[in-house]
Amino acid sequence: MIEEISSVSMVVLMSDGRFFDEMWAGEDAARSPYAAFHDWITDEDPARLRAKQREAEEVFRLTGITFNVYGRKEAEERLIPFDIVPRVISGREWQKLSRGIEQRVVAINAFLHDIYHRQEILKAGRVPKEMIAGNEAFLPQMMGVMPPGGIYTHIVGIDLVRTGEDEFFVLEDNARTPSGVSYMLENRETMLRMFPELFAKQKVRNVSNYPLRLQKSLAESAPSGTSGDPTVALLTPGSFNSAYFEHSFLANNMGVELVEGHDLRVVDGRLCMRTTEGYKAIDVLYRRVDDDFLDPLNFRHDSTLGVPGIFDVYRSGAVTLANAPGTGISDDKAIYSYMPDIVEFYTGEKAILQNVPTWRCSDPDSLKYVLDNLEELVVKEVHGSGGYGMLVGPASSKKEIRDFRKKLEARPANYIAQPTLALSTVPIFTKQGLAPRHVDLRPFVLMSPKGIRITPGGLTRVAMKKGSLVVNSSQGGGTKDTWVLDD
Amino acid sequence: MLGKTANGLYWMFRYLERAENNARLIETGQRIALTRSGAPTDEWTPVMKTTGTDASFAEKYDAVTKESAIDWMLRDADNPSSVRSSIEAARQNARMVRTALTAEVWGAMNGCYIDVKGKLTRRVNERDLPNVLGLIRQRTALVRGATHGTMLRNDSYDFARIGTFLERADNTARILDTKYYVLLPTSAPVGSQLDNIQWETILRSVSGAAGFRAAYGQTIKPTEIVRFLILDKRMPRSLNFCCSKIRDNLGYLASEYGDKRKSHQMADDLCRRFMSHDVDSIFDYGLHEYIQDVVTALNALGHQIERDYRFFA
ipTM: 0.83
Do B128 and B9 belong to one domain?
yes
Cβ–Cβ gap A274/B313 under 8 Å: yes
Cβ–Cβ gap B4/A239 under 8 Å: no
Q: With a cut of 60, say whether residue A218 has pLDDT above it.
A: yes
Do A333 and A302 belong to one domain?
yes
Decide: residue A65, CB within 10 A, 0-12 exposed, 13-18 middle, 19+ buried.
Answer: buried
pLDDT, residue B219, reads 86
Q: Does B6 touch chain A (CB under 8 A)?
A: yes
Q: Which among A377, A396, A419 is the end of a domain?
A: A419
Do B217 and B117 belong to one domain?
no
DSSP 8-state class, residue A204: B
A372 within domain boundaries: yes
Do A147 and A221 belong to one domain?
yes
The whole domain housing B53 covers: 1-151
The whole domain housing A111 covers: 103-155+205-347
A161 within domain boundaries: no
Do A319 and A437 belong to one domain?
no
Do A240 and A122 belong to one domain?
yes
pLDDT digits (tens, 9 = 90+) for A105-127: 999 999 999 999 999 999 999 99
What distance in Å separates residue B107's CA from the closest CA in chain A? 6
Do B144 and B180 belong to one domain?
no
Q: Which among B103, B119, B151 is the end of a domain?
A: B151
Q: Which of A239, A251, A263 sits opposite B95 (nearest CB)?
A: A239
- A251 SS3 class: helix
Reported as type and span, the H/E element at residue A173 is strand A167-174
Do B299 and B272 belong to one domain?
yes
Do B107 and B206 belong to one domain?
no
What distance in Å separates residue B100's CA from the closest CA in chain A? 8
Q: Give how many domains chain B has, as a whole number.
A: 2
A390 within domain boundaries: yes
Do A296 and A370 belong to one domain?
no
Do B28 and B99 belong to one domain?
yes
- Give me the residues of B, 81-110, that contact A with CB < 8 A: 92, 95-96, 98-99, 103, 106-107, 110
A15 within domain boundaries: yes
Q: Which among B134, B151, B168 is the end of a domain?
A: B151
DSSP 8-state class, residue A395: G
Do A414 and A473 belong to one domain?
no
Q: Give how many domains chain A has, as a whole number.
A: 3
pLDDT digits (tens, 9 = 90+) for A128-163: 998 898 888 899 999 999 999 999 999 999 999 999
Do B284 and B205 belong to one domain?
yes
Do B211 and B106 belong to one domain?
no
Query: What percent of chain A is modeled with pLDDT above 90?
Result: 72
pLDDT, residue A254, reads 95
Q: Which among A323, A347, A371 is the end of a domain?
A: A347
- Note down pLDDT in tens along chain B; length 313 residues: 999 999 999 999 999 999 999 999 999 888 877 777 666 667 788 889 889 999 999 999 999 988 999 999 999 999 999 999 999 999 999 999 998 999 999 999 999 999 999 999 999 998 999 999 999 999 999 999 999 999 999 999 999 999 999 999 999 999 998 888 888 876 555 567 777 888 888 898 999 999 999 999 988 888 899 999 999 999 999 999 999 999 999 999 999 999 999 999 999 999 998 887 688 889 989 999 999 999 999 999 999 999 999 999 8
Do B141 and B158 belong to one domain?
no
Q: Which among B151, B172, B207 is the end of a domain?
A: B151
A136 within domain boundaries: yes
pLDDT, residue B59, reads 93
CATH of the domain at A366: 3.30.1490.270
In this prediction, residues A66-74 reach a mean pLDDT of 56
What distance in Å separates residue A418's CA from the closest CA in chain B? 41
State the pLDDT confidence band at A1, using cuts at 50, 70 and 90. very low
Do B224 and B141 belong to one domain?
no
A352 within domain boundaries: no
Q: How crowded is the C-beta side of B237, counted as CA atoms within 13 Å?
A: 27
Sign of the torsion formed by the C-alpha atoms of B56, B82, B230 and B213: positive
What distance in Å separates residue B109's CA from the closest CA in chain A? 9
Do B124 and B213 belong to one domain?
no
Q: With a cut of 70, say whether residue A68 has pLDDT above it.
A: no
Q: How many CB atoms lie within 10 A of CB A40?
A: 15
Do A75 and A216 belong to one domain?
no
Do A239 and A327 belong to one domain?
yes
Distance set, CA A411 to CA A360, A362, A374, A379, A417 (Å): 12, 8, 15, 13, 13
A164 within domain boundaries: no
Do A324 and A266 belong to one domain?
yes
Do A256 and A339 belong to one domain?
yes
Residue B165 CA to residue B18 CA, distance in Å, equals 11
Do B212 and B125 belong to one domain?
no
Q: Which among A397, A419, A441 is the end of a domain?
A: A419
Cβ–Cβ gap B96/A239 under 8 Å: yes
Q: Which positions in chain A touch B3 (Cβ < 8 Å)?
A: 263, 274-276
A229 within domain boundaries: yes
The residue in chain A having the minimum alpha-carbon distance to the alpha carbon of residue B155 is: A276
